[in-house]
Amino acid sequence: MSAKPIALVTGGAGFIGSHMVDLLVERGYAVRVIDNLIGGREANLSAHKASGDVTFDSRDIRQLDAPDSLFENVKHVFHFAGIGDIVPSMEHPVEYMSANVQGTVHVLEAARAAGVEKVVYAASSSCYGMAKTPTDEAHPIDPQYPYALSKYLGEQSAFHWFQAYGLPVNSIRIFNAYGTRSRTSGAYGAVFGVFLRQKLAGKPFTVVGDGTQSRDFLYASDVAAAFLLAAETTHTGQVYNLGAGNPQSVNRLIELLGGEVIYIPKRPGEPDCTWANISRISNELGWRQKVPFEDGVKRILDNIEYWRNAPLWEPDSIAKATRTWFDMLSDRDARANG
């Protein structure tokens, strides 16, 4: 009996990373996970660890060496590790550049030293800025805040390692992933985590703007499926946009979650609509969405207790958490307008 192929998932105890681990185990891979557990939970991997399908390393990716034994005999690397909170990046740009750019370089070097067959980088659609929609991969790059810049520079590093060293790399620019196991602690962030905790507390949902803004939400298991296709394809050196190709308004999300609403000011630097043109990933990789938005929201509601201990965000605390964002981006817009 032949040995299982080995995959390595950075950030594999986190939100999307743990769904990636699920899929890899299901497809017959032995999986190695590296995660410093700042944003992830080792409990997300407990069943797999007990079965022996997954081994775990708690280092920060910036501690990786080249060569590094963690990468020995690894076939595919799925790189999700990094800092994902958007709003705090305005106050802590150095940490974002360190984790998301230099951390990526450490992963790339370790993968190169080990002769890995394919690295798939988790990029962000935020690199497009205030984009025209639907957004294709040729859209101009215009990062609006340090998180977006750091993820784009990480992607550029990955492609430089492809061009300069021949390391096989593909990149997927994720639009708006959602699902179970999303982050429940730390900074003010993704809409689902904020709303679910508010629902549990019987508080009104804090809707930014008027709620007509829309996001191209895609369930995490569908994201993982795209990453596996990008690893197993013969295509190399490619970037793919990934969303459902079917934006949903925040107001529609509120309808599905059910609850009262309070409106808070719209933030500068954020688009009214995100909408991925998914023609390339559909045509080249044969990827298709499997979890409709309504089904995905139901799955989350069925697991809502997961968010019981998450921070409860209300208008005053949100205003405090986003003050620097408003000040800096408003000043930037004023400078741009003369």
pLDDT for residue 313: 94
Residue at token pair 């080792």: 42
CA triplet 126, 240, 226: central angle to 5 degrees? 105
Residue 89, token pair as written in the block: 């990046």
Question: How far is residue 190's CA from residue 299's CA, in Å, rounded to a whole number?
Answer: 17
pLDDT for residue 1: 43
Core vs surface per residue 223-235: b (16+ CB within 10 A) or e: bbbbbbbbbebee
Per the annotation, the verdict on 147 as an active-site residue is yes
Q: What are phi and psi of 152, to 5 degrees?
A: -70, -40
Helices (H), 260-314: 279-285, 293-302
pLDDT for residue 120: 99
What does the longest C-alpha to C-alpha distance in the chain come to? 69
pLDDT for residue 184: 75
pLDDT for residue 331: 74
**Catalytic entry in 29, 147, 152, 219:** 147
The whole-angstrom distance between residue 145's C-alpha and the CA centroid of its chain comes to: 16
Residues 168 and 178 sit within 8 Å (Cβ to Cβ): no
Query: Averaged in consecutive runs of 10 residues, what is the pLDDT profile of the chain (338 residues)?
Result: 88 97 98 95 91 96 98 98 92 97 98 98 97 98 96 98 98 97 77 94 96 97 98 98 97 96 91 96 98 98 94 94 86 70
pLDDT for residue 338: 64
- Complete domains list, the chain, with CATH: 6-336 (3.40.50.720)
